[in-house]
């Protein structure tokens, strides 16, 4: 009887653990938005962007390259046609000037997006619920490339010019 | 017989494939009545699953850590360390967890099944059951088969989870990838389909590995050497079949 009990408890624990792992993998990994765990401490500020690119919830918020918080949520404001990003700032960073400047930047060449905050000069500081007014949208690489090629094409035969220049320079050497 | 010609080897291979297939059908037919004795199945889930937990979790942790290290090193060259979470999660969920778990399962639980049943065969316990009109297929083979089939997906899920933790440990704590980025990139790019692929694979591997283990034991030559040979065959056949099926399933899911 005793051995039977431990066997059943062991099996129960194993099955429980297995299904807990399955539950975690199916709900937490695909972006279904189910979140467990207590919300982290800190205060929330919001910022409006024209375009957030592929900024994701959970992306870091940095100042001078140092992690100071994370993106808590992204929603679309249908009045202004803007993306409203809410940021959670860690509680120890209380003295961020109110006129600070938020921009969406890219880590590395292909990396994910993050929000960088550059400090302003005011003496009043951001607090829970305040809004960052000055923002800069994500730079979308494709549109940048499009712009570049549009400029290139409008100059007309840039390639030929380049080749000419080179052939002029080389004989002088 | 000592020097079998090419034809005989092929014929023998075909015969064994047929034998395994017939055995699978008989097992499946006997599995339904076996369900009426859940205690036997629970016992086998404990044997195959719960007692493999330690080796599965330890291996998962180390595989995850190695994956974190290697993927970080590779991604760093392209300046995209943030994709570490995605790389680790996809690698673990779709490939490493199902295959590694199946290989470990074949070594840890499959061999135990084969030698147990093989020894029963060698000591005429199975024959004794038949004489008493107790179907050994229903009372010995089917519960062990079902236990293995249930245990494998659960073990695979645990392997994935521990592996992700290992990758996170190396990537975030050691290599300094941002924790939020690690998880948000992972969540952004891993779909339910990727998780399903791992679960389906592990189910198929569970059926294959349990079937081979039970079959080899049930049909082992009733001698000490025969049981040993059957145990070896279990490991070899399970590993090869697992890797072969893995390719087929991967191709099917793409």
pLDDT in tens, chain B (254 residues): 455 567 788 888 888 888 889 999 999 998 888 888 888 899 999 989 888 999 999 999 999 999 999 999 998 888 788 888 889 999 999 999 999 999 999 999 999 999 999 999 999 999 999 899 888 888 899 999 999 999 999 999 999 999 999 999 999 999 888 887 888 788 878 888 889 999 999 999 999 999 999 999 999 999 999 999 999 999 999 999 999 999 999 998 87
Query: Is A59 within 8 Å of B180 when comparing Cβ atoms?
Result: yes
Judging contacts by C-beta atoms under 8 Å, the chain B residues touching residue A67 are 178
Closest partner CB to A111 (pick from B45, B80, B192): B80
Query: Is A67 within 8 Å of B191 when comparing Cβ atoms?
Result: no
Q: What is the mean pLDDT of residues A68-88?
A: 88
A115 pairs with which residues across the strands? Answer: A61, A104
Query: Is A111 within 8 Å of B157 when comparing Cβ atoms?
Result: no
Are residues A102 and A135 in contact, defined by beta-carbon separation less than 8 angstroms? Answer: yes
- Note which residues in 151-170 of chain B have CB less than 8 A from chain A: 151, 153-155, 157-158, 160-161
Q: Domain range for residue A67? A: 43-139
**Structural domain count of chain A:** 1
Closest partner CB to B178 (pick from A10, A30, A60): A60
CA atoms of A97 and A118, how far apart (whole Å): 9
Structure tokens that stand for B112 in this block: 């135990």
Give domain status of residue A116, yes or no: yes
pLDDT of amino acid B143: 93
Query: Is A60 within 8 Å of B180 when comparing Cβ atoms?
Result: yes
* Element containing residue B129 per DSSP (H, E): helix B125-131
Give domain status of residue A154, yes or no: no
* Element containing residue A63 per DSSP (H, E): strand A60-63
Closest partner CB to A21 (pick from B45, B160, B188): B160
The pTM of the full predicted model, rounded to 2 decimals, is 0.75
Return the residue of B nearest to A24 by Cα.
Answer: B161
Question: How many CA atoms lie within 13 Å of A95's alpha carbon, on the beta-carbon side?
Answer: 2
pLDDT-based confidence at residue A163 (cuts at 50, 70, 90): very low
From B109, B136, B145, B142, select the one nearest B231 (Cα to Cα): B109
Closest partner CB to B89 (pick from A29, A108, A109): A29
Q: Is B195 on the interface with A (CB under 8 A)?
A: yes
Q: ipTM of the assembly? A: 0.71
Give domain status of residue A85, yes or no: yes
> To the nearest whole angstrom, how far is the Cα of B47 from the nearest Cα of chain A?
9
């Amino acid at each position: 009887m005793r051995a039977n009990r431990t066997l059943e408890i062991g099996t129960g624990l194993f099955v429980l653990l297995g299904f807990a792992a399955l539950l975690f993998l199916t709900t937490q990994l695909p972006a279904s938005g189910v979140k467990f765990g207590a919300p982290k401490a800190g205060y929330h500020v919001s910022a409006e962007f024209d375009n957030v690119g592929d900024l994701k919830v959970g992306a870091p918020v940095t100042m001078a390259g140092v992690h100071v918080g994370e993106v808590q949520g992204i929603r679309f404001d249908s009045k202004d046609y803007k993306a409203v990003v809410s940021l959670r700032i860690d509680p120890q960073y209380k003295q961020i000037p109110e006129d600070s400047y938020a921009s969406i930047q890219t880590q590395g060449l292909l990396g994910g997006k993050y929000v960088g905050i550059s400090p302003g000069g005011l003496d009043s500081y951001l607090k829970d619920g305040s809004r960052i007014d000055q923002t800069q949208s994500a730079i979308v690489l494709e549109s940048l490339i499009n712009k570049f090629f549009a400029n290139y094409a409008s100059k007309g035969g840039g390639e030929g010019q380049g080749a000419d220049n080179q052939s002029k320079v080389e004989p002088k050497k | 017989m000592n020097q079998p010609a090419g034809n005989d080897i092929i014929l023998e291979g075909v015969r064994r494939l047929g034998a395994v297939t017939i055995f699978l059908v008989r097992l499946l037919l006997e599995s339904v009545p076996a369900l009426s004795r859940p205690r036997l199945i629970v016992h086998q889930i404990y044997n195959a699953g719960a007692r493999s937990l330690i080796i599965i979790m330890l291996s998962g942790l180390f595989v995850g850590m190695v994956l974190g290290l290697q993927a970080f090193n590779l991604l760093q060259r392209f300046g995209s360390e943030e994709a570490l979470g995605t790389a680790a999660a996809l690698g673990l969920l779709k490939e490493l967890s199902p295959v590694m778990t199946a290989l470990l399962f074949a070594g840890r639980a499959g061999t135990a099944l084969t030698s147990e049943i093989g020894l029963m065969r060698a000591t005429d316990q199975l024959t004794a059951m038949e004489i008493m009109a107790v179907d050994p297929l229903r009372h010995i083979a089917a519960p062990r088969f079902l236990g293995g089939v249930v245990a494998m997906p659960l073990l695979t899920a645990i392997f994935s989870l521990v592996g992700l933790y290992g990758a996170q440990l190396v990537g975030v704590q050691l290599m300094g990838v941002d924790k939020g980025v690690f998880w948000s990139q992972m969540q952004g790019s891993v779909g339910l389909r990727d998780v399903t692929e791992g679960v389906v694979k592990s189910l198929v591997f569970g059926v294959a590995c349990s079937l081979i283990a039970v079959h080899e034991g049930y049909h082992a030559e009733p001698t000490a050497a025969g049981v040993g040979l059957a145990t070896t065959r279990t490991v070899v056949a399970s590993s090869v079949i697992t890797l072969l099926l893995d390719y087929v399933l991967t191709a099917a899911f793409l």
